[in-house]
Amino acid sequence: MQLNQGPLLYEGKAKKVYRSDKPETVLIEFKNDATAFNAVKHSEFKDKGRLNCQISSYIFEFLIEEGIPTHYLGRLSDTFMIAQNVKIIPLEIVVRNIAAGSLCKQTPIKEGVKLRSPLLDIYYKEDSLGDPLLTDKRLKLLDLISFEQQQEIENLAYEVNTFLIAFFERIDLCLVDFKLEFGMNNNNKIILADEISPDTCRLWDNRSSDPKDRILDKDRFRKDLGGVIEAYGEILKRIQGDFSKSKTSR
Ligand code: UDP
């Protein structure tokens, strides 16, 4: 798909969104910036944009094959994704399979504990409020989406979780938790948007039992473990290996 870059529509912490010369189609540039703790911690990692753009693209392609509606249309270059223009619903949908991060800070559940069934948490995406965790009643009060739309989003998130657990399992990665964002396209259809990458997922390496070495995601940055780009590169390498294997076996 050949498209030309139009004016900047929006700049976020890790991505820039540009209009393109095709209606309803935007170009998303993945930046090298890394932020954590509501952008209090900030750094740049050479090549992170390319790695996340490619990892996200592979994952969206896989999810589309599984029937999940997403904004992904293709890739323009190493760091530019082509996507449907959507109105982002300001909610962060987190699905957890293993206890980590804020779940362990806010409850007595210890890191690494496998949850009996996936836990879905919804946060209000608003930096100035620190992205607070919502209750169902607060979500209803905010009136951002209808009850039916909430159910549709939750069902999609659980389905994505099932598909992604299998996707990562094949390459010896454990999907601990992840965050999704959804948007409304021009036909008022809810579709998966944003990115799915080691910036937005916790991924542990099944090939390592060391609690620090096994971390292959943004926690390497959050916890100052070093080797951020090496970890992201390892994920891309394993995904590409798996994709070329499954292509030759088709
Ligand atoms: N996450 C994200 N963006 C956010 C908050 C969380 O992508 O603004 C991801 C995070 O990388 C992890 C999952 O959502 O994979 C759960 O994050 P958690 O609630 O534990 O928050 P954290 O302690 O990581 O800030």
Q: How many domains does the chain have?
A: 2
Residues 13, 93 within the same domain: no
Please tell me the residue having the least CA distance from ligand 1 atom 17: 101
Last residue of a domain, one of 86, 106, 133: 86
pLDDT in tens, 62-103: 999 999 999 999 999 999 999 999 999 999 999 999 999 999
Is residue 246 a part of any domain in this protein? no
121: CA distance to ligand 1 center in Å?
10
Atom from ligand 1 closest to the CA of residue 38: 8
143: CA distance to ligand 1 center in Å?
24
Residues 112, 221 within the same domain: yes
pLDDT at residue 93, as a whole number? 99
Q: Is the pLDDT of residue 250 over 60?
A: no
pLDDT in tens, 203-217: 999 999 999 999 999
Last residue of a domain, one of 59, 86, 113: 86
Is residue 235 a part of any domain in this protein? no
Q: Is the pLDDT of residue 246 over 90?
A: no
User: What is the rounded distance in angstroms from the CA atom of residue 124 to the CA atom of residue 91?
Assistant: 5
Residues 75, 96 within the same domain: no
Please tell me the residue having the least CA distance from ligand 1 atom 2: 200
200: CA distance to ligand 1 center in Å?
6
120: CA distance to ligand 1 center in Å?
12
Is residue 218 a part of any domain in this protein? yes
Mean pLDDT of all residues in the chain? 97
Query: Which CATH number belongs to the domain containing residue 101 in this structure?
Result: 3.30.470.20
Residues 98, 166 within the same domain: yes
Residues 24, 113 within the same domain: no
Is residue 240 a part of any domain in this protein? no
Atom from ligand 1 closest to the CA of residue 131: 8
Q: 53: Cβ–Cβ under 8 A, 6 or more apart, which residues? A: 30, 75, 78, 79, 80, 81
Of 200, 204, 218, 219, the residue with max ligand 1 atoms within 8 A of its CB, to mutate for a pocket test, comes to: 200
pLDDT at residue 1, as a whole number? 67
- To the question of pTM greater than 0.85 for the whole model, the response is yes
